[in-house]
Amino acid sequence: MVRARTPAHDLTAIAEAVMRAAGLQEAFDTLMSEIARVLGSRACIVQRVDRGWMLVGQARGGMRVSISDLQHALDHVPLDALSAAIDLKAIGEGVWTSMALDRPGETPVVLLIAGDWTIVDRLLNPFAVLLSFALAAVRERAARVSAEGLVVEGYTMARRLSRLGPVEAVCQRIVEHAGRSVGAGRVALALYRPEEDRLAIEATHGYPASVVKDVRIEQGAWVIGHVYSSGRPLLVRDIRDIHGFPAERRHYRTFSFASIPLRAGRLMLGVLSATDKFDGSAFDRRDIAALRTFGAAAALGLIAARSDSEALRLSYAATVDSLTGLFNRRYLDARLHQEVERAKRAASSIAVLMADIDDFKRINDSYGHLTGDAVLRAAGGILRSAVRVFDVSARYGGDEFAILMPSSDHASAAACAERIRQRIAEYDARENDDLPRVSGMTMSIGVAVNGPGETPADLIRRADLYLYQAKAEGKNRVRVGAG
């Protein structure tokens, strides 16, 4: 019989070829092609996953049966034997030989070869052992390469994350990269919110973030809260083995998940969780190691993004008037110097409008300071809506406002000033709950356009002069300087 005469060195050569593979899938493909070449037989490799068996390789067509029949047949494979004959006549496949390719503690992997090869037990069992060691060597080599790659990738990712800017963008990049790193279909990033003393899901991968945007997690609650409180990673190969967890999770493909804490030094930032591996297998220690390596880079990226966001927030706050939302005088002065210099270089014009609410002291004295504040807010909103997007509207002090209009001449600046005056005069306080009793609000405006050799201070001084001319002539009017 040909099977009995199969040389031992041919089987050894198959194991050696498998051992040289760069990765596990390449090792499976090599094994299948060598089995077809040396034994001339149909074969397939299957791996045990959460919901049954999964085909990971086949040669010469493999088994010609339905998935359900194959699953039923493989449930009878003796996993405690190196090799065994399996009667598959019930599904039209006759007798096949199974060979266990895994080592204790590893995910069961079985090689199935058409026909009864147990008559060469003296070769078959040593061959199974050789193959299991060959695959173990491939896994360990791939793990080392992966670990080295993770260190480099983690450093690279930390630099990339630090350049992304907003925290939201960093969070989204973290979950997407984590999903690719461990082959997970679903990833969630929860960050601790000190103001709420709870965790919130800030980014998701594999499902819409809108589904969990309102979810808040107490410390110690659920898996995420537990990992955050303990500061230790959690690996669950099969959630059905944990007492108290529901056995059925219809919206997930697998029953395994991995979760790690994100920390920067002693500061706990949040939790990164993954589930639903694409290949249907359970998460293992290598996945936790990969997530932890990447998590260190992610934490640095989050800290950098938060620092940048806080710096931007403080920088913006330093330029804005908190009452009206317009820019403040400090920002206006800085921009005015820039625009005057730019106008000199480009030989262009620049206009400054100085505006003042008429009789504002009367409003404060008659209606109180809260109403006075509401009047200032309403005036600021009107100014903002009446100018161009690149003009600078600012609260100059008290009830006085200033508008900087680059590349504007007398005509365009006067038109803008008149538009503001009309909108202020037409403003109906009854439409604003903050101004229930104020009526007849008006504004006077002075307009100056830069002249030759004029400094920023000269421009402001002239616009202020024209403002007071408008006040002296009866208020609620615009006065434009000749330049």
First-to-last alpha carbon distance for the chain, in angstroms, is 111
> Distance (Å, rounded) from C-alpha 473 to C-alpha 190?
63
Is there a contact between 192 and 199 (Cβ–Cβ < 8 Å)?
yes
State the DSSP code for 326: S
Q: What are phi and psi of 263, to 5 degrees?
A: -140, 150
Q: Is 399 part of the annotated catalytic residue set?
A: yes
> Distance (Å, rounded) from C-alpha 477 to C-alpha 467?
9
> Distance (Å, rounded) from C-alpha 248 to C-alpha 238?
11
> Distance (Å, rounded) from C-alpha 235 to C-alpha 125?
34
> Distance (Å, rounded) from C-alpha 44 to C-alpha 46?
7
> Distance (Å, rounded) from C-alpha 61 to C-alpha 63?
6
Is there a contact between 216 and 200 (Cβ–Cβ < 8 Å)?
yes
Q: Among 287, 399, 434, 464, which one carries the catalytic annotation? A: 399
Whole-number Cα distances in Å, 405 to 41, 336, 439, 453: 84, 9, 29, 18
- Please report, for the chain, how many H helices and E strands are present, in that order: 12, 16
State the DSSP code for 108: P
The residues that are catalytic are 399
